Structure formats: C-alpha cells, structure tokens
Structure 1
Amino acid sequence: MQSEILAQADKQNPTFQVVEVTRANMPLIASWPQTGPTLDGSWPRTSSGTNQSVIQTGDHIDIRIWDSQENSLLTNPAEKSTVLPAVEVGANGAVFLPYVDEVFVRGLSPASARGRIQEKLEAIVPTAQVQVSLTEGRGNAIEMVSGVVKPGSFPLPSRNYKILGAIADAGGINPGLKNPLVRLIRQGATYEISARTLMESGAYNSLLLPGDTVVIEEDYRTFTGMGASSRQTLVTFPKDEINALEALSLIGGLYDVRADPTGVMVLREYTPKQLGSGGAKPNMQQVVFTFDMTTADGLFAARKFPIYPDDVVLATESPLAGLQTLLSIINSGVTTTQRTTALVN
C-alpha cells in the first residue's frame, strides 16, 4: 500500500525523496535531468554532396586506352584499343600503368581520373584517348546490417547518397519492428534516432559517407509496470516519449478492485552527478513521484510527466483491498468450520 512504501520518507534520515506531482510543480520537475538510455539529439543533419562518384582505396577501375598510331606501344594494328581491367586503387591512392608507373587517382571522380591518366600517357602516346569506368569496393560503400528487408553492402552511387535512399534501396524497414530505432555508426561515433522522427523531417536525412554502418532495431528502452495493474511486465517504449497516463494505459490501467487511484507512483533513480539542492535538481538519488488520479490536477500533471527508460510505474493497493482479502480469509475459515461441523454431526 502507499502508506507502507512511503513510511521510510517520514523517518528522520530517509533514504529516498518523495515528490507529489501537481500542475504547480510540474515545470520544475520537467527541468530535472533525464535518466536512463536516451536519444541524445546529436543525429547528423542533412547536407548536399556532389552527384558524382569519388574513387577510393580498394576500388577497381577499368581503363581502356585508344591509340591510332601504327606503331603504338599499347595497341596492335588489329585492335586500336587495349583494356586494363579491374586495376585496384592501392593503399597510396594510386594505380599502376605500363610505361607510366603510378598515377594517383584517389579522391577524384572517374572523369577527373580519366583526364589525369590521359595527361600522363601523352609523353609516350601523344594521340592516346582514355576511357575509365569505376567499380566501388568496400571502402566506397556503406553497410546496412539489420532491420531492413535486404541487408548488405551498398556502393555509394554518388557523394549525394542519403540515409533514406539507402533504406529504400535495402527494401525498407522490416515491418515487424516496433518503434524501430536507426543507429548510424561513423568513425567510432554512434548516433541514434527513431525511424518516425527520421521520416518526419528532411532535416534528418543525413548524407552518408564511405564506411558508414547503419543498424535498425526495435526500441530497446523499457519501463517496468508493477502493482495493482492489469499487466506487470517490462514495457517497451512504443514511441520516442511517453507520459505517465500513457504508461498506465500500456500496463492495462488500474485494476478496478485492488488499485488505489490516489497512490500511483513512479520510482526513478538518478546518478550522483545529477543531484543538486534548492529544488532545481533532485536532492537524493532515489525519488518516488506520487500522483492522485482522483483529481483533475493529478490527471493533468500525469499527462505532462515524462516517463524515462528504467522507471518503475507502480499502482499501489487500496486499503479496502486488504480488508476485502482479510474478510475473504475469515469467510473461508468460517465456511470450512461449518462444513467440518456438518460432517461430524
């Protein structure tokens, strides 16, 4: 019951803080630090890149050289062109060409690489013309790991390739995922956003970079529902943010017979760094927020109160429920006694 849980708060040295949530103090509570795993809001915003591909280490380029000279070093009289297939761009960003040695092409578009190769060939084949085609390697691709219909490695078709386009190319988000989160892993940093938020605004349609990894999975954030409610279980967040009224709905509401609507609580734990004094921050690590759901003030306050991951939403038991249980036990004992007496007689 509520009185049993809050008894500790009345002691001289309580081990937790009790806060009655009302419309009056809700703005102050809303300013307190957020707890549990959070979507930090640092998701990279959209930008624009070039519509051309850029050559990277590990890519392969096919080089076709045309030469009309009779005594060409690179072609024979029967064929006016020669092909150097699948020439790999080395770790130093260069490709090897006969009679020329290394030509640096990393960071260039195929058109720019064609011009540079042709320029290098002019010293030995003045009339040469060059064609270049690019096949991207792993260093010029992004990885779609999970949560899509067709996961895999996707070469960047240009430097203007964005995350929504990549998700579409992978067949879209798996429809079986509940409130999916999109995670972008880039050069050791990790960013997260809900798929719903990502698709609501073009500002979040991030430009992808070579080597990016995208992971899509169900929202891992949960809260616990306990006490005199219809469901006592871990509940996954169905959307980015939920309030106390929505949390009660997710655990099936208050149990009609047992629950005390004046004793709904949220148990939350803060870190030592999040504590403060003067009311601007909680003054103890463990805090019990209480709600009176029999008043309009309590209901409106609960509607504004955010539930954070790892919170415990507790519906305490009504004192009448305990009395009813006791009477039921007594009645059961009386009935048993009567039946025993009847059998003896």
Structure 2
Amino acid sequence: MSPRNSFAFRTGICLLPALLAGCASLPTSGPTGVEIVRAQRDLGKFELVELDEAVVAELEAAPSSGRGRLSVLAQPGDVDRIGPGDILQISIFEVGAALFGGRGATLDPAAPATGSGETLPPVVVGRDGSITLPWVGRIQAAGSTPDELGMTLTGRYRANSENPQVMVAIRENVNNTVVVQGDVKKPGRLPLTLARERVLDAIAIAGGLANPTADSLVNISRGDRSAEGPLSAIEPGSIDDLQLLPQDRLSITFRPRTYTLLGAAGKPAEVPFQNMRVSLAEALGRGAGPNENQADPRAVFVFRYEPANLDGSPAEGAVPVAYRVNMRDPMAYFLTQRFEMHPRDVVYVGNAGANIPTKAMQILNLFFSPFYTAKVVTQ
C-alpha cells in the first residue's frame, strides 16, 4: 500500500467512529416506528392503538359522524299560513242584495235572484299581519290559512250582503318561503307548497349543486337554532331530509376533504378524498405504497383526533390517537380495506431502522471514492 493510500485508509478508520456516532443526526423523512412507540410510552401524550379485527369492528359499529346531525331541527309546522308581506287575491261572490257591482235585491219575490262577483285589487298583508278591506275595515289576516280567512270575511260581509261567499288565495307567497344560498346553481327564495318540500327537494329546485356532493355541507338555520351535516349522508325521505318550514335558510358549502401522506410513503402529499369514502388501503395505494427502499412495513400509522368535527378538527374533549398497522401481516391488507379515512388524517409510514447505518456507509463511500479514483488513474 502506497503512503498516500495508507494515509487515506488510516484517516477513514479514524473518522468511522465519528460518522457512526452521528447517525442520529443524518437526514430522514421522520421517526422510526420504534421511536414513535418510545415517545408514546415515555411521554404519554397520545394513545397508541394496534389495528386488529376487534378495533376495526368497533370503528365500523360506531355511528357515522354525518348522519343524524340535521334531525335535531325536526319539528311540525304549517306552510299555508298567511304572514306579513304576502300578497292576497280576494274574490267576493254575492247572490241577492249585493255590495259589489250587482243590481241589488228586487221587491218581486217571484223574480229570479241575481248574482254578481267582484275581485278586489291585490292586498298586501302589513307588517302587523293585518289587512284593510271595504265594508270590513281592518282585520287580522296573519296566522290564518286562506280558507280560514275566507270564512271570516264571509261572516263579516253577511251583515251587509244577502248571501256573500269570499274566496282568498295567496297570489305572491313571501312568508311561506325558504332561502337557498351558497354552492347551488340557482340560489334564491323558494316558495313552499302543501307538497311539503324537503332539503333535497329545495336543492334540486335550486338547480342542483355546483360542486361534488361528497365534499358539500348543508347548514340549516331555523329560528335561533342551526345544524350542519354532510350532504352525502342525507338519504331521500330520511330523518336528515327535513321537511322545510317557513323562513328556513339553507346554505350549501363546498369544503374539500383531504388527508396527508408523510414519512417513507411513495409520494408524500396532501391528497383529496374525491370519493365519498376512502379506505386506508386506498390511501396508501394513492401514494404508491410504502417505499420499499426506505419504509418499515411494520410501522404504518394513522394519526387523528377523536372525537372530531366534520372537518377533522378536534371536537370538545378530543384526544390524539395513533393507529398502528403491521403490513408484514397478510391480514392487515384486509383490515386496511375496512379502516375508513377521516378528513385531516395523517398517514405516516415509518422509516426502517436499517436506513441510518446504510446512509452512513453511503457517506463513507463518498468519502473514499476520490482516493480509489486517484489510485485507478495513477496505475
């Protein structure tokens, strides 16, 4: 061995302990599975749950976070009551002595009775709920149905007309309406009918959604109460498909759901759900799976808060939980198909412990390669 090569060899031997001692400081994509378990044991700041058949069955049995959220607003109510702002069409039909447009009563009892009809100009219900009509004066209309108001007016006109009959119709409905706004194609005010429109009916009448259903939320304000739920969880006619009441306000919001892939995953990224449900197996597959040159298949984790809000943010009393799955176990591939992802979940693939010594050897190879190259050139 030449003096130059001998010096390089001795230098490398001297540097080897320092390089190995500094392995912990070598760049990695995150902690190893052993380090995560140790952190949970020593610090106790999060729960660590091994993903097995019992855990997956318990998660599947838990009620869906989206269903039943709107049903808390369910209550009976009418949609045909007259209210302030409504425009009424009132028609009066008379037989015999007439107040409106007729020839009046005849003195000959053998003569046939005469009849007449009169349609009054449109009448607007005042802010106090009352209307003013000729021969009647001011009368309360709000709170009555058109038929009920017609019967009341018939009784009032009977004092001055021989046989009056009054028909009332709501010409322009203002009180019995709901407002649909947000991410729909035709937002606006929707009049309610006796067909009893529901949440999904209102959205369809408003032209449908402007964005995918899977990532749309509906918020319903009813009086001083409100509730919000995912539109994808509402089935036609279900308890969440509420029958709408006057003055309800529906707001549709597009809120894309995502989860994050980190660590030794094939492609660390923030990934949109795109579908209504995404399993852990699908989540890993979208990231091209664990990196075979870097990942520890026994250290696949899902980090989340439980319980969580619809958007994945921590709910009141939430605790951080880490689910660990061993992908070396063939059964894990079935379990990950049943494990459902939540918004804001973090899927972390741990680094293999052997990666750090391997990186140290790579650094040593880089260190010695110039000497080997020089030796080849000089020979």
Distance 1:258 1:190, change over 3 A: farther
Cα 1:29–1:217 shift into 2, 3 Å: closer
**Matched AA of 1:290:** R
Residue 251 (structure 1) shift: 4.1
Q: Which residue is equivalent to 1:294?
A: 328
Q: Does 1:198 align with 2:228?
A: no
1:228·1:259 contact (CA, 8 Å) conserved in 2? yes
Which residue of the other structure, out of 289, 307, 312, is the alignment partner of 2:346?
Answer: 312
- Map of 1:18 onto structure 2: 48
Query: Partner of 1:4 in structure 2?
Result: 35
**Contiguous gaps of at least 5 residues in structure 2:** 1-31, 104-115, 307-313
1:55 aligns with 2:89: no
Deviation (angstroms), 1:28: 5.6
1:121 aligned to 144, 151, 157, which one? 157
* Local SS of the residue matching 2:298: strand
Shift of 1:155: 1.0
Instruction: Tell me the SS of whatever aligns to 2:144.
Output: coil
Quickly say closer, same or farther: Cα 1:152–1:250, change in 2 above 3 A: farther
TM-score, normalised with respect to structure 2: 0.70
What aligned pairs does 1:1-345 form with structure 2 within 5 A after superposition? 1-11=32-42, 14-27=44-57, 38-39=65-66, 41-44=68-71, 53-67=80-94, 74-75=100-101, 82-158=118-194, 160-176=196-212, 178-199=214-235, 202=238, 204-238=240-274, 241-270=277-306, 285-335=319-369
Would the alpha carbon gap of residues 200 and 212 (structure 1) be closer, same or farther in structure 2, given more than 3 Å must change? Answer: closer
Partner of 1:281: none
Take 1:320 and 1:314, find their aligned partners in 2: how far apart are those partners? 18
Residues 200 and 236 of structure 1: is their aligned pair in 2 closer, same or farther, counting only changes over 3 Å?
farther
- CA 176–23 in structure 1, closer or farther in 2 if over 3 Å, else same: closer
**CA gap 1:339/1:132 in 2 versus in 1, 3 angstroms:** farther
Q: 1:94 to 1:20 in 2, by over 3 A?
A: same
Aligned CA distance change for structure 1 residues 343 and 217 (closer, same or farther; 3 Å): farther
Amino acid at match of 2:241: N
- CA pair 250-152 structure 1, distance change in 2 beyond 3 A: farther
Is residue 227–residue 317 contact of structure 1 (8 Å, CA) maintained in 2? yes
Cα distance in 1 for partners of 2:375, 2:173 equals: 89
Percent identity, please: 25
- Residues in 2 aligned to 1:177 and 1:22: alpha-carbon distance in whole angstroms: 32
Offset, 1:164: 2.6
Distance 1:151 1:337 in 2: 74
**Which structure would you say has the larger Rg?**
2
Please state how far the C-alpha of 1:334 moved relative to its aligned partner. 4.3
Asked if the contact 1:23–1:297 (Cα under 8 Å) also holds between the matched residues in 2, the reply is: no
CA 1:234–1:89: 2 relative to 1, 3 Å: farther
Q: How many residues align?
A: 329
Distance of 1:286 and 1:312 partners within structure 2: 11
Contiguous gaps of at least 5 residues in structure 1: 276-284
Distance 1:190 1:245 in 2: 36
Query: Any idea what SS the aligned residue of 1:307 has?
Result: coil
Per-residue Cα deviation, 1:54-79 (whole angstroms, up to 9, x for no partner): 32222111223345778x655487xx
Shift of the 145–292 alpha-carbon distance from structure 1 to 2, 3 Å rule, reads same
Structure 1's 303 and 204: CA in aligned 2 closer, same or farther, altered over 3 A?
Answer: same
Q: Deviations over 1:148-203 (max 9, x none)?
A: 22111111132622223222211222255543333322223333443333246655
Q: Which amino acid aligns with 2:83?
A: Q
CA gap 1:15/1:149 in 2 versus in 1, 3 angstroms: closer
TM normalised by structure 1 equals 0.76
Is residue 148–residue 172 contact of structure 1 (8 Å, CA) maintained in 2?
A: yes
Q: Which moved more, 1:184-193 or 1:238-247?
A: 238-247
Relative to 1, partners in 2 of residues 1:336 and 1:99: Cα closer, same or farther, differing over 3 Å?
farther
Distance 1:29 1:60, change over 3 A: closer
| Paired amino acid for 2:347 | V
CA deviation digits over 1:8-65, x for unaligned, max 9? 2343x5433322222245446668899xxx4262333999988x83322221112233
In structure 2, C-alpha distance between the alignment counterparts of 1:252 and 1:176, rounded to whole Å: 25
**Aligned partner of 1:302: which letter?**
T
Q: What SS does the corresponding residue of 2:335 show, helix, strand or coil?
A: helix
Q: In structure 2, how many angstroms separate the alpha carbons of the residues matched to 1:294 and 1:258?
A: 15
**Structure-2 separation of matches of 1:189 and 1:66:** 45
What is the CA RMSD across the aligned residues, in angstroms?
Answer: 3.9
Distance 1:160 1:40, change over 3 A: closer
